[in-house]
């Protein structure tokens, strides 16, 4: 028997991961699965460099996650000549500075959501990337879900008729325990908005993807847990507060409702809630049109439910369950048969595939920094509306 080595002459896109926390793992899992699931891409990632806040944490994470080199200096990482893609998984306040430096160094940029603390920063990030001709993508995870893409298709091909209204919600209870420490997520300067920026940005992105842009909004932002125990050290998800930690103020929203008007004439209602007891992870949306409606839930994302007016009197009265399968966008790479729910890490593989494909084809990825900027415009307009008590137009 002869053992023959394989030949791997695929192009490598070299990754510098900036940040080594919760999402660093998810991105790294997705890089690992990319060429198994999308072998036709013609390029593979190389986990080249990891930057984190200290020597100790950067070295530990590089070893654990499998990056070849590490640094505690993100500026070094973004300027390294052996890097093609800078992947930003830091807290929100660093997105702008790191992305702008990476763009200036001619790197493609993958940045987690929300794109930046302010819409003005997000706009500058988009303009810089566009002018530099580098490719960008924002980590809105759920847009690549086959169900979201099927919903978009059923709106675009007119199956639902005119979009009369859209409802979207993202409710979690990960932050409902008031004893959880005040991590960077609750600090205005480090996170920006609270529930609205963190999970609300996902549903604004979904509404934009499926039903078109929001043009004006009316927002109500509330903070249910007004103080939390001070965090010690680099606290993240899952960290606990010291028993005697002093209470410090929560500086952004826990619960936000947004009424919106769509460019196409419809109406939207969005709910973002990070303290929703009894809703561990509840993300979904409905599109109600002149010919029918559809609904989708991330928790049951093996299906889209569809109602078409005119079919009420037929045998299949009511909502029809469209089971997602290989004939739907992005599904076939995972399973050859229908009905399997794709997990959050798998959605990240789709996101990275989209960025790689755009780099290889030399075209814009989706959702790029322009899409990320337009989401931040909506978030800010909702907050301005809450402050003024008036409907507020979304600048663009």
Ligand X SMILES: NC(=O)c1ccc[n+]([C@@H]2O[C@H](COP(=O)([O-])OP(=O)(O)OC[C@H]3O[C@@H](n4cnc5c(N)ncnc54)[C@H](O)[C@@H]3O)[C@@H](O)[C@H]2O)c1
Which positions touch ligand X (CB under 6 A)? 18-23, 51-53, 57, 74, 89-92, 94, 112-113, 139, 141, 198, 234, 236-237
Residue of minimal Cβ distance to ligand X: 21
Instruction: Considering the complex, state which of residue 237 and residue 316 has its C-beta at the smaller distance from ligand X.
Output: 237
**β pairing state of 136-138 and 108-111:** parallel
d(CA 170, CA 152): 19
What's the closest the beta carbon of residue 183 comes to ligand X, in angstroms? 7
Q: At what angle do helices 201-211 and 369-388 cross, to 10 degrees?
A: 110
Instruction: Considering the complex, state which of residue 248 and residue 263 has its C-beta at the smaller distance from ligand X.
Output: 248
Contacts of 27 (CB under 8 A, 6+ apart): 17, 87, 89, 110, 348, 352
**Is residue 365 within 8 Å of 358, Cβ to Cβ?**
yes
Element (H, E) at 384: helix 369-388
Instruction: Considering the complex, state which of residue 152 and residue 185 has its C-beta at the smaller distance from ligand X.
Output: 185
What's the closest the beta carbon of residue 196 comes to ligand X, in angstroms? 12
What's the closest the beta carbon of residue 269 comes to ligand X, in angstroms? 22
Instruction: Considering the complex, state which of residue 18 and residue 386 has its C-beta at the smaller distance from ligand X.
Output: 18
Three-class SS string for 32-49? Answer: HHHHHHCHHHCEEEEEEE
Nearest CA among 156, 118, 116, 120 for reference residue 136: 116
Instruction: Considering the complex, state which of residue 165 and residue 297 has its C-beta at the smaller distance from ligand X.
Output: 297
Contacts of 134 (CB under 8 A, 6+ apart): 103, 106, 107, 108, 109
What's the closest the beta carbon of residue 112 comes to ligand X, in angstroms? 3
If you compute the radius of gyration of the chain from its CA atoms, what whole number of angstroms results? 21
What's the closest the beta carbon of residue 152 comes to ligand X, in angstroms? 19
What's the closest the beta carbon of residue 197 comes to ligand X, in angstroms? 8
Instruction: Considering the complex, state which of residue 27 and residue 46 has its C-beta at the smaller distance from ligand X.
Output: 27
């Amino acid at each position: 028997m002869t053992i023959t080595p394989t030949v791997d002459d695929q192009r490598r896109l070299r990754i510098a991961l900036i940040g080594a926390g919760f999402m660093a793992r998810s991105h790294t899992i997705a890089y690992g699965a990319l060429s198994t699931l999308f072998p036709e891409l013609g390029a593979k990632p190389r986990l080249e460099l990891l930057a984190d806040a200290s020597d100790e944490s950067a070295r530990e994470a590089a070893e654990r996650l499998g990056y070849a080199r590490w640094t505690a200096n993100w500026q070094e990482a973004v300027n390294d000549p052996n890097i093609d893609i800078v992947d930003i998984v830091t807290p929100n306040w660093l997105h702008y500075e790191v992305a702008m430096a990476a763009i200036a160094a001619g790197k493609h940029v993958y940045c987690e959501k929300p794109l930046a603390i302010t819409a003005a920063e997000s706009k500058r990030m988009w303009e810089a990337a566009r002018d530099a001709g580098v490719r960008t993508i924002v980590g809105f995870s759920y847009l690549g879900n086959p169900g979201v893409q099927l919903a978009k298709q059923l709106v675009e091909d007119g199956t639902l008729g005119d979009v009369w209204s859209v409802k979207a919600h993202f409710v979690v209870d990960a932050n409902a325990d008031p004893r959880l420490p005040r991590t960077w997520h609750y600090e205005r300067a480090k996170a920006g908005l609270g529930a609205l920026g963190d999970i609300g940005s996902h549903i604004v992105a979904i509404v934009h993807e499926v039903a078109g842009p929001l043009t004006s909004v009316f927002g109500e932002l509330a903070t249910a847990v007004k103080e939390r125990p001070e965090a010690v050290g680099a606290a993240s998800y899952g960290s606990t507060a010291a028993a005697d930690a002093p209470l410090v103020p929560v500086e952004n929203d826990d619960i936000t409702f947004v009424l919106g008007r769509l460019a196409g004439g419809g109406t939207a209602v969005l709910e973002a809630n990070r303290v929703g007891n009894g809703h561990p992870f509840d993300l979904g949306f409905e599109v109600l049109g002149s010919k029918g409606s559809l609904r989708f839930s991330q928790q049951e994302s093996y299906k889209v439910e569809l109602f078409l007016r005119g079919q009420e009197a037929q045998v299949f009265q009511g909502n029809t369950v469209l089971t997602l399968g290989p004939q739907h966008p992005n599904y076939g790479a995972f399973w050859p048969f229908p009905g399997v729910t794709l997990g959050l890490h798998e959605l990240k593989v789709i996101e990275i595939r989209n960025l790689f494909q755009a780099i290889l084809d030399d075209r814009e990825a989706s959702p790029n920094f322009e899409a990320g900027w337009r989401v931040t415009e909506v978030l800010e307009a909702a907050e301005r509306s809450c402050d003024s008590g008036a409907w507020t137009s979304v600048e663009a």
